[in-house]
Chain A
Amino acid sequence: MDEKSLGFVNQLIEKTEQGKLSWSTGFEDGQFKTLLPEGKLAFVVQVNGPTNRFMMLDDGQEVILQERVNLDEANRAITVNPKMYNLYQAIDRLNKLARTQALQVNEKLAKAEKLLATI
């Protein structure tokens, strides 16, 4: 595990909560991506089953950083390597935020509530 990954994921969580990043769906299930201005860097976060994944791509779409953490691995690492467990949790949290934004979950829920109220 690259020590910097957790820092990047935490920064992305912070920027997403501040509404400074725009996420959209990727290709695979549970995959979301965001691009920094001018496409200089792209970040991809994916939660698919028990595996959490985080990637950083440069402007030539080369993978600069990649982390893949499995739930079993993360659970085993709680005492031995708490950073790995923290990374698993952080990717999970970032993925939820990215999903909420990319799929406009809150807006759609509010719309659904309004529609149901009118029936």
Chain B
Amino acid sequence: MVLHDWFDWSNAGVGVVGLAFTLWAVWQATGAKVAAQRAEKSVRRHNAEVDFASLARMAKELHGYVEGGKMPEARLRTTDLRSDLTLAIRVHEAFLGNQSGQLKERQVDLALVTEGLNRTAGVMSQSERVRLLGITGAILDLLASQCGKLRSSVEKGASNG
């Protein structure tokens, strides 16, 4: 009778220890999964920052060409910026927050500029030139601001471990 009780208790004990180990293993696995997800997000955010830094450089070049009246170069840069921006928005949309709408509006501007410049072979009225400067300046500001936000969030992520 005493032996039987002892077996019951030891079985129960082994069961409890087993359950504890299982729970510990699940907890560890969940923690590892969360850490892996966090690391993946951090890499993706870093990639977004790199892409937007490159876009901001491209926008700066474009703005410079427009300011300098170098329209053939501006036309080429507009096309490059347009396609790269479309790709970046598609890939990194999750990190763009409330600037996504503004970026899409600028994409439309770039499409209209590309179309307009190609149709008129770069011949513009004075008011179109002023608007073009406004558009390229606004694109540059927006991309630089987006790049700054992403950089700051990458740095915050890095400092939080």
Contacts and interface: CB of A to CB of B under 8 A. Distances in A.
Contacts, number: 50
A86 interface: no
Interface string A72-99: 0000000000000000000000000000
B112 A35 contact: no
Contacts of A44: 108, 112
Report the interface size class on chain B. Answer: 20 to 34
Interface string B83-116: 0001000000000000011001101111111001
Contact of B82 (A26, A38, A61): A61
A61 B132 CA distance: 18
B101 A27 contact: no
Contacts of B112: 26-28, 31, 33, 44
Contacts of A33: 108-109, 112
Interface residues of A, number: 17
Nearest to B110: A61
B109 A39 contact: no
B128 interface: yes
Interface string A54-68: 000101110000000
Interface string B57-84: 0000000000000000000000000100
B82 A27 contact: no
Contacts of B111: 57, 61
Q: Which of B82, B100, B109 has the most CB of A within 10 A?
A: B109
A35 B105 contact: yes
Given A27-B131, A28-B116, A39-B101, A61 B108 contact: yes
Given A39-B101, A60-B86, A61-B86, A25 B108 contact: no
Interface of B: 82, 86, 100-101, 104-105, 107-113, 116, 125, 127-128, 131-132, 135
Given A27-B109, A39-B100, A61-B82, 20 more contacts: A26-B109, A27-B128, A27-B135, A28-B112, A28-B116, A29-B125, A29-B127, A31-B116, A33-B112, A35-B105, A35-B108, A38-B104, A39-B108, A57-B108, A59-B104, A61-B86, A61-B107, A61-B108, A61-B110, A61-B111
